[in-house]
């Protein structure tokens, strides 16, 4: 069974999901297993060059 969860709360995604897709401004920037990631917020910063709350 597959459930699609959309959230901006990184801690929630890390706790509930085994596979994640990160999107930024309509583009997929990461798709993979949670086991590949140490920290979702850090990954977002690395892929986009900005923090979650930056404009």
Q: What is the domain count for the chain?
A: 1
Domain with 41, as residue range(s), is 10-48
Q: Which two tokens stand for residue 45?
A: 């910063």
Residue 18 lies in a domain: yes
Residue 37 lies in a domain: yes
55 pLDDT exceeds 70? Answer: no
Residue 43 lies in a domain: yes
Residue 4 lies in a domain: no
Q: Which two tokens stand for residue 3?
A: 């459930």
Residue 16 lies in a domain: yes
Which pLDDT belongs to residue 28?
94
Structure confidence by residue, pLDDT tens digits, 13-54? 888 999 989 888 889 999 999 888 888 888 888 988 876 666
Residue 1 lies in a domain: no
pTM of the model: 0.69
């Amino acid at each position: 069974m597959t459930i699609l969860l959309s959230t901006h709360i990184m801690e929630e995604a890390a706790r509930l999901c085994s596979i994640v897709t990160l999107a930024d401004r309509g583009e997929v920037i990461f798709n993979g297993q949670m086991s590949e990631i140490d920290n979702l917020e850090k990954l977002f910063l690395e892929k986009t060059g900005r923090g979650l709350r930056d404009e």
